């Protein structure tokens, strides 16, 4: 296939990449695009490097590009909807997948293959790349078992067989699923077949979504030959080449915004894989939002956004698996060929077993993964690896019970808890006994694996010892899973289920969750086709009901935390520089004049609870770039400022510049200047002798926004020191101490206990700068129903606070003699103070993040903060 070389990044619109007209306009054929952070030259699909914040307006936003997200995004885009797809992983195609495990596992696997349950007992394997886990799985395809369908219907997931069958047939055709031929079975698969035939067990060749498989055995690290028909080479490719879909990789979805049961969009971060730093932001305004991030991540997103917090993340299942190796006298060379081509169905749901059960599946691993999974150390490990070519391998995969949970750590990361139920341990004991007997029947001279306490079986007589070890010490059982399921259960009861039978979240009109997380129970077989079928049905439901349920929904105008001309306080220095160079001075100089009142008053200061925006005409609040370099950070925290303009006694415009944290009030005079480089600008000339060598150049973009540069020297040849912006209008994250006090006293109230339940993240209020999120408060009720709060501050201090609710505000007390005073402003915003005991202090001021308050008992220090529910 011919390769295309990009000639550098393509340009974006100045503030956004958006779809004009939404669903009213048909997509332009072949106009789709994949975006990402990596500066790569060649990709099979159209690719552009992200260079700044993105604001998208679309019909549908889909989060996750795996077995569900790719299908929903592709089908809706082909139906004429404008679609934005967000993927946390990177975009890698066949030529990137070089069959080197040490390079591919960190690239394609979530957490570099190091995802474990909270007790480190079980490894959980998931993909994190464009195409999701379909890129790294073994391409095994099972239709949703009839037993499972009936059980799910009995639990309220009312999907009739006709819909299942139609969706599966559509998927089957799209991913080119077909039966593995006998000549494609390698000796590893044939050994399992021989053992099954000897026992008379029901078994057979697997179906796989592959075309002309090269049988390289490297399915787990991506298909270099592009024969595996994963989401990347089927649905995603079709959408990119035939619709106007926009796909953003290297992008972590962080927030879903909603009100009164209507989701209006999603926000996320572009994260540099090498440094872990947030490079850019994205905001997607959409009429429908679909979460398809995978079982664990979808629960994480819902919990972080307080969506179904009493139901999300509960009822997790895994299909836990444990393997056994049969060591044979002759070479098996199990690594050479299709890893998973044969399955024993005798004891599983595919043979009508209704409760639990297990499959025995052939499997083999490339050498690095194999060596990491063998339960031995030092010399013993070396001896085992010496016989690598003589092993046959199969795993016992148990259909477990929905007993696991996903919760959030203080940092907002997912915490997975799972303990196999007693019935699951019994199934493992039975399955390992059966598999060990099968290997010995097939001629194995030794069986290895299954349990840390007893992992070498020299003869049939040792099988009982293995089973005894499993039953007496189940924690020693070696477990892994590639099939996390459940957590956001599907069903018609909104009290116990997260989504209905169409995958729409209960209580929402346009928010969907569709992936394996909605399974009511473990499906009992490799789940990718079932996920794809659900996605097919969900996309069809959205399309069918688009006109009546979604098309007329208003599209939000939110820009989130993205840099734009309307909110330049979120911009980097480079973006401010570009804006200043591009934009013209659009307003008369009189626009700069502020309100007559120097202190907040009803005519000069207001707060919009709907948009969480402050309008302050007492002065122009200054903002520095968002860059994280040392110089910029130093300026932010020690040089925040405001500028105020007024008419002096002579009727001329004059101004004052005041740094928040210094007793400096610098007089200045603004006047228009035709600058040889920047065109018509406002020259802000400082009149005091100590500041005579400084000046600013300003551009009045609109009535609330000014772009500026500060210089040292004589215009127009001065030396630029910094770039900044000013505004009369800003979000609550940028509030000052005075803003905080007005919102706290005039717009806040005492919350009720149920209003605060859940997770809140906080920022300290600083006059000078937007501070990072440093607090996490999690409110819950203890066993007696008493409200309590668990806090983490700066990932350093943690503890539990006692909560007291009064008619005025909420108080929180911990082991210190300081306390919190908090009021709720909206359903997802609270403002508070952490205050010292009152006394007499010699200070009459504090730094921007620490204020001094006068109370009847004397003075006290207070840290002011805001809390957002997320």
pLDDT score for 852 = 82
pLDDT score for 815 = 87
pTM of the predicted model as reported, rounded to 2 decimal places: 0.92
The whole-angstrom separation of Cα 251 and Cα 281 is 9
pLDDT score for 15 = 37
pLDDT above 50 (res 651): yes
pLDDT score for 24 = 29
Helix, strand, or coil (residue 422): helix
pLDDT score for 379 = 57
Residue percentage of the chain with pLDDT more than 90: 81
When pLDDT is averaged across residues 681-697 and rounded to a whole number, the result is: 95
pLDDT above 70 (res 3): no
The whole-angstrom separation of Cα 651 and Cα 797 is 55
Distances in Å between the Cα of 311 and the Cα atoms of 256, 486, 506, 509, 604 are 17, 11, 11, 18, 45
pLDDT above 80 (res 844): no
426 burial via Cβ count (<10 Å: 0-12, 13-18, 19+): middle
Please report which residue ranges of 396-456 form alpha helices under DSSP H.
422-441
The whole-angstrom separation of Cα 746 and Cα 728 is 20
* Tokens found for residue 167: 């969706």
pLDDT score for 640 = 83
pLDDT bin (cut points 50, 70, 90) of residue 782 is confident
pLDDT per residue as tens digits for the range 219-265: 999 999 999 999 999 999 999 999 999 999 999 999 999 999 999 99
pLDDT bin (cut points 50, 70, 90) of residue 673 is very high
Contact (CB, 8 A) for 694 and 711: yes
pLDDT score for 11 = 30
pLDDT above 80 (res 8): no
pLDDT per residue as tens digits for the range 25-43: 333 446 899 999 998 877 8
Q: Give all domains of the chain, ordered by start, each with its CATH number.
A: 31-176+217-316+484-552 (3.50.50.60), 180-210+321-399+421-476 (3.30.410), 568-731 (2.40.128), 735-869 (2.40.128)
pLDDT score for 28 = 41
33-36 and 47-49 beta bridge pairing = parallel
pLDDT score for 630 = 61
pLDDT score for 375 = 67
Contact (CB, 8 A) for 759 and 776: yes
pLDDT per residue as tens digits for the range 489-522: 999 999 999 999 999 999 999 999 999 999 999 9
Distances in Å between the Cα of 750 and the Cα atoms of 20, 169, 765, 825 are 44, 56, 20, 9
pLDDT bin (cut points 50, 70, 90) of residue 13 is very low
pLDDT per residue as tens digits for the range 95-130: 999 999 999 999 999 999 999 999 999 999 999 999
pLDDT above 80 (res 6): no
The whole-angstrom separation of Cα 57 and Cα 21 is 9
The larger pLDDT score, comparing residue 418 to residue 847, is at 418
The whole-angstrom separation of Cα 825 and Cα 651 is 41
The whole-angstrom separation of Cα 100 and Cα 392 is 22
pLDDT score for 841 = 58
pLDDT per residue as tens digits for the range 574-616: 999 999 999 999 999 999 999 998 889 999 999 999 999 999 9
pLDDT bin (cut points 50, 70, 90) of residue 636 is low
**Torsions phi, psi of 170, nearest 5?**
-65, -45
**Torsions phi, psi of 412, nearest 5?**
90, 10
Average pLDDT of the chain is: 91
Give me the residue label for tokens 């001075």: 585
The whole-angstrom separation of Cα 46 and Cα 31 is 9
Helix, strand, or coil (residue 570): helix
Contact (CB, 8 A) for 62 and 223: no
pLDDT score for 638 = 56
When pLDDT is averaged across residues 400-429 and rounded to a whole number, the result is: 95
DSSP string covering 266-315 = EEEEEE-TTT--EEEEEEEEEEEEEE-S-HHHHHHHHHHTTSSTTTTTEE
When pLDDT is averaged across residues 780-794 and rounded to a whole number, the result is: 89
pLDDT score for 22 = 33
pLDDT score for 536 = 98
pLDDT above 50 (res 12): no
The whole-angstrom separation of Cα 167 and Cα 533 is 5
User: Cα 277–278–281 angle (5° rounding)?
Assistant: 175
DSSP string covering 764-787 = E--SSS---EEEEEEEEE-TTS-E
SS (H, E, C) 685-725: EECCHHHCCEEEEEEEEECCEEEEEEEECCCCCCEEEEEEE
The whole-angstrom separation of Cα 167 and Cα 328 is 43
Q: Tell me the residue ranges of DSSP E strands in 497-637.
A: 511-513, 605-608, 613-616, 620-623
Chain-centre distance for alpha carbon 175: 27
pLDDT per residue as tens digits for the range 361-382: 999 998 988 888 776 655 577 8
């Amino acid at each position: 296939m011919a390769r295309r070389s990009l000639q550098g990044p393509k340009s974006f619109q100045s503030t956004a990449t958006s779809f004009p007209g939404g669903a009213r306009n048909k997509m332009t054929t072949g106009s789709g695009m994949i975006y990402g952070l990596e500066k790569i030259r060649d990709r099979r699909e159209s690719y552009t490097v992200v260079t700044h914040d993105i604001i998208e307006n679309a019909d549908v936003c889909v989060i996750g590009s795996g077995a569900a997200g790719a299908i929903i995004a592709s089908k809706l885009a082909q139906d004429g909807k404008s679609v934005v797809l967000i993927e946390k992983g990177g975009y890698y195609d066949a030529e990137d997948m070089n069959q080197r495990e040490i390079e591919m596992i960190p690239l394609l696997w979530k957490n570099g293959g190091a995802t474990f349950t909270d007790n480190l007992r079980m490894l959980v394997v998931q993909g994190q790349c464009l195409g999701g886990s379909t890129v790294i799985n073994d391409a095994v395809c099972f239709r949703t078992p009839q037993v499972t369908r009936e059980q799910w219907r009995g639990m309220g997931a009312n999907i009739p067989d006709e819909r299942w069958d139609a969706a599966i047939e559509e998927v089957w055709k799209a991913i080119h699923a077909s039966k593995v031929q006998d000549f494609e079975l390698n000796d590893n698969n044939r050994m399992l077949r021989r053992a099954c035939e000897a026992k008379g067990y029901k078994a057979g060749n697997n179906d796989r979504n592959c075309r002309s498989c090269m049988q390289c055995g490297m399915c787990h690290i991506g298909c270099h030959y592009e024969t595996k028909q994963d989401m990347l080479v089927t649905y995603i490719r079709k959408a990119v080449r035939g619709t106007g879909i926009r796909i953003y990789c290297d992008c972590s979805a962080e927030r879903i915004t909603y009100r009164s049961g209507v989701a209006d969009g999603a926000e996320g971060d572009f994260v540099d894989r090498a440094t872990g730093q947030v490079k850019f932001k994205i905001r997607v305004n959409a009429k429908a939002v679909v979460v398809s991030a995978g079982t664990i991540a979808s629960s994480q997103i819902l919990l972080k956004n307080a969506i179904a917090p009493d139901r999300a993340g509960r009822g997790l299942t895994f299909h836990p698996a444990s393997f056994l190796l049969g060591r044979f006298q002759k070479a098996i060379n199990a690594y050479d060929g299709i890893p998973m081509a044969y399955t024993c169905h005798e004891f599983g749901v595919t043979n009508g077993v209704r409760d639990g059960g297990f499959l025995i599946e052939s499997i083999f691993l490339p050498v690095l993964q194999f060596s990491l999974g063998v339960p031995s150390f030092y010399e013993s490990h070396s001896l085992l690896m010496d016989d690598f070519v003589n092993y046959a391998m199969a795993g016992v995969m148990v259909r477990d019970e929905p007993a696991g949970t996903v919760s959030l750590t203080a940092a907002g990361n997912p915490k997975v808890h799972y303990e196999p139920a007693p019935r699951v341990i019994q199934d493992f004991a039975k399955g390992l006994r059966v598999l060990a007997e099968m290997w010995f029947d097939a001629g194995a001279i030794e069986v290895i694996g299954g349990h840390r306490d007893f992992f070498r079986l020299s003869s049939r007589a040792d099988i009982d010892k293995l089973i005894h070890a499993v039953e007496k010490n189940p924690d020693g059982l070696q477990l892994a899973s590639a099939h996390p399921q459940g957590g956001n259960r599907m069903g018609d009861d909104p009290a116990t289920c997260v989504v209905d039978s169409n995958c729409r979240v209960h209580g929402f009109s346009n928010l969907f969750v569709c992936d394996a997380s909605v399974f009511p129970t473990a499906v009992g077989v490799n789940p990718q086709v079932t996920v794809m079928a659900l996605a097919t049905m969900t996309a069809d439901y959205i399309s069918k009901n688009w006109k009546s349920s979604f098309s007329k929904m208003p599209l939000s105008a939110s820009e989130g935390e993205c840099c734009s001309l309307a909110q330049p306080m979120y911009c980097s220095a480079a973006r401010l520089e570009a804006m200043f160079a591009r934009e013209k001075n659009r307003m008369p100089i009189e626009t700069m004049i502020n309100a007559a009142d120097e202190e907040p008053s009803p005519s000069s200061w207001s707060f919009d609870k709907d948009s969480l925006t402050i309008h302050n005409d007492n002065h122009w609040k200054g903002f520095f770039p968002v860059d994280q370099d040392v110089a910029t950070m130093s300026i932010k925290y020690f040089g925040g400022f405001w500028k105020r303009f007024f008419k002096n006694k002579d009727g001329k415009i004059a101004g004052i510049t005041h740094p928040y944290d210094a007793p400096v009030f610098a007089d200045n005079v603004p006047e228009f200047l035709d600058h040889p480089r920047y065109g018509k600008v406002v020259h802000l000339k400082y009149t005091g002798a100590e500041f005579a060598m400084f000046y600013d150049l300003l551009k009045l973009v609109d009535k609330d926004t000014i772009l500026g540069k500060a210089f040292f020297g004589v215009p127009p040849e001065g030396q630029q020191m910094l770039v900044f912006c000013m505004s009369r209008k800003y979000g609550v994250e940028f509030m000052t101490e005075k803003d905080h006090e007005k919102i706290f006293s005039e717009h806040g109230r005492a919350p009720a206990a149920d209003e605060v339940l859940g997770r809140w993240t906080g920022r300290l209020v600083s006059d000078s700068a937007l501070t990072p999120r440093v607090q996490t408060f999690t409110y819950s009720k203890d066993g007696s129903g008493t409200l309590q709060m668990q806090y983490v501050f700066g990932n350093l201090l943690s503890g539990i606070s006692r909560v007291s609710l009064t008619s005025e505000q909420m108080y929180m007390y911990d082991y210190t003699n300081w306390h919190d005073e908090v009021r709720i402003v909206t359903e997802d915003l609270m403002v508070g103070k952490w205050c010292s005991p009152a006394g007499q202090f010699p200070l009459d001021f504090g730094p921007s993040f620490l204020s001094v308050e006068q109370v009847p008992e004397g003075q006290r220090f207070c840290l002011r903060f805001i809390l957002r529910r997320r």
